Structure 1
């Protein structure tokens, strides 16, 4: 049985998680998050993004997390590749997911830097 693999690209200040490579944003939304571990944050957002859009045939999630220039935070770019026409409200639904207080609290809690 083959295992589905995710592509991860880590560059200085930028973390990208995508199902297909190269990543492509046919639809996207952005949001600002506090400092956190990018890999953990990306995984959590990807899971909820997939749950919300799994019915959208041909959808392949992409999450890109960049350090915010001159600030202590992250810019999250979420969306992905779509092989079929998109419903008009798709980008707004991604924005609503990224701005949902309950989701944000769970994602941030999971991805916060642990200090010992």
Structure 2
């Protein structure tokens, strides 16, 4: 997956001091390439940068990445901020478990 990210972002300059997103004037700038990536992928839903970060963290957690690694990747200073995502994943697990029903089970 990191190769996909590198392809989307482009090749990083050799200069370690160079900015990853040259010309970034304000936080809304990232929405421009994000919009292109979303349209290219065929997604019709309105997705913001915040939604993308949220999905990124949730998907990492759902795929078994530990909370401290996610904390680091998200740039959170406190793991409590990252723990918000565990609540969402736990709700999904509970919902999935509650879809099972065994007929004729006497309890």
TM-score normalised by length of structure 2:
0.24
Q: Which has the higher helix share?
A: 2
Q: Which has the higher strand share?
A: 1
Structure with larger Rg:
2
Higher relative contact order (Cα pairs below 8 Å, separated by 6+ residues): 1
TM-score normalised by length of structure 1:
0.23
